[in-house]
Structure 1
Amino acid sequence: MFEYTERTKQLQEKLLRFMDDYIYPNEKVFKEQHAALDDPWDNPPILEELKTKAKEQGLWNLFLPDSEYGAGLSNFEYAPLCEIMGRSSIAPEVFNCAAPDTGNMEILARYGTEEQKERWLKPLLAGEIRSCFGMTEPEVASSDATNIQTSIRREGDEYVINGRKWWSSGAMDKRCKLAIVMGKTDPNAELHKQQSQILVPLDTPGVTIERHLKVFGYDHAPHGHAEVTYDNVRVPVTNVLLGEGRGFEIAQGRLGPGRIHHCMRLIGVAERALEAACERVSERVAFGKPLAAQGAVRQDLARSRIEIEQARLLTLKAAYMMDTVGNKVARREIAMIKVVAPNMACNVIDRAIQVHGALGVCQDSFLAAAYAKARTLRLADGPDEVHRETIAKLELKPYRRDK
């Protein structure tokens, strides 16, 4: 049985109180303030007010295992805290624990030079700016990162970047100042040594946000997802991360913890959906008896509870293995949770929508937006099929006859 550390338990209590006192009561305020803004990519004032309160209570940058910059928590210690934050769409940013900034800050903390940390990591840690990650491209199957076509070519003391990215989450936000872009510096190198990652300020000439991409009709403002072109964009050679040919390596290091975060947030929103379903069926009557007394409804509630517990235990196991034996040894478990958690959340939220009826699919409930987000995570950070292939390959490895 997993046992959380005392520090984790204390932070859980603080987070739960903060959610009850500040997050849930202000979800509606956030929506109202955002609707009143002239520019949808501006920041509702309530968000900064909540961030200030979170900082004051020491609930800030909890995701970073580096004690110099973050809370110094392990993946296993942070996982249950991430679950709590996942219960609300506005919570992760309030605690400065929102994607893609978390992954980008991890990259900068782990691989950045002192100059890069000073310019970009510090303001990100302070919550003063936001960032995006440019990996996915519209013209290639980006689930295979070796397909990426964006060119990063060195000319003297500069790199020249040309390419088109999309689903650069966060790039629409007016506070987004930095893109970490993945592209090819040497198409003739070994397959996994062709790619590099480079820091690109979004105000650099040649960077153009072409359009905003919606998710099942949701704009996810003020965060948003963008299609971005890089047309002869020039940045200093000092902007490269870790060195040429290290991009694939950096991406693998970034995605491991990120998948834990995504999965725990999905478990959090699934828990909230199940709670909403239980409340709904306890108060609604149909065909002469409460919905809670209907056999089919009770079966669905049971299925949801079972699936949530399975997903949580598997995710905690993956987090524990990452801490104890490393990401490489835990890659099967990481792949498994990335398949299990989004599918589980889609199932649980869908059942909650069903018992809510018309309310479940409109803006008066969080369920429809939560479902749209959960469904996208069957694609983000690699589609189900890629992760299943990884699992199958590792499962079959001991039976190979050509070894």
Structure 2
Amino acid sequence: MHDTHGGNIFKFAHDHHIHISEISDFSANINPLGPSKKGLDALNERLNYISHYPEVTNDAVLNTIADVYGVDKESILIGNGAAELLYVIGRLPGYTGAFVPAPGFSEYRASMNAANIPVRDIFYRQRQYDNGIPYFEVPYLALQTFAAELKGQDGRIIVFLGNPNNPDGTLLDKIQIKILANMLRDANSLLVIDESFIDFIGNESLRDNSNSLRDLINDYDNVIIVQSLTKFYAVPGLRIGAAFANPTLIQSLHQFIPAWSVNTLAQAYIVAALNDSNYIKDTKNLLSNESKYMYNSLSNFKNLIVYKPSANYILANIDDSQITVNDIQAELEHHNTLIRSCTNYKGLGPQWMRIAIKDHDHNVSLISLLGDILTK
């Protein structure tokens, strides 16, 4: 279950007898700038305190998130990464089924399986705009219809959606989501929106991000927004995430979080990183330029169908029956370069790959390597 993610550089380094610094990892969607220097300085200062327990209430983290994202402190829950929060949601009592996006992040399903909640897939439809640009369509009507049918029934469900969705980058339509949230509320059911990559999108301040659906928690007591704090801030090794919801719902979730779930170093780092305005600005500027470069460069390959990125990763379909993502991975591994196979994503398969967007030098290098492979 847990070997389906990208970013397993330690195993690759061990198997190939190299140092991890020699690997170009495009398989994990992490901020290409690396961690915030201010965050690392704060972490280093806190090293002397690891002989003590972490701050059990996470007050400093909660206050910082409340200020940066413009959310009441009582509406925030901190966990050991977004993944822990997904598993915590699965422990809420009384839910009899769940819907997860296909394709979508595997931990939605895994968290429901752990809670013995049956899962059904929400298959996103592959479509094309009139100009030929491909995209994935969210089946809002199907979800709304099912939610309407639940009203008055005994069943209660949890619907998971990504905003943007991983691996395709599809953003949710706020009007359609409000309709769905209303219908699910009438059916005593829950809507969980994963915004782990939302901070990469747009040039507004983090609290003013027009693509975020975070403000829905003010009007809907059945909506939870889950957000990783390790993707944008480049510390997946530290583990920290947040959930935003109605205070009553937050209290229900909080009882399933163990004491000291978030360690001292993660607490120190994220408080400083969230306040590192230059780091945030530089990240957005870099991604704005590099996402255009990568999209245009990948689109130049005639045997790739490339989906326009919204965040820091790009999904591509290999339009050549003679080439699979495994073939491309094998060739790239000779150059210590990793990409993400999407073979295990429902609705995709062996012709699909996801590529993280990194700094320009790494991106140029990958495009060159792919050129050698795809134009043979």
Common fold by TM > 0.5: no
Higher helix share: 1
TM range (shorter): under 0.3
Larger Rg belongs to:
1
Considering Cα pairs closer than 8 Å and 6+ residues apart, tell me whether 1 or 2 has the greater RCO: 2
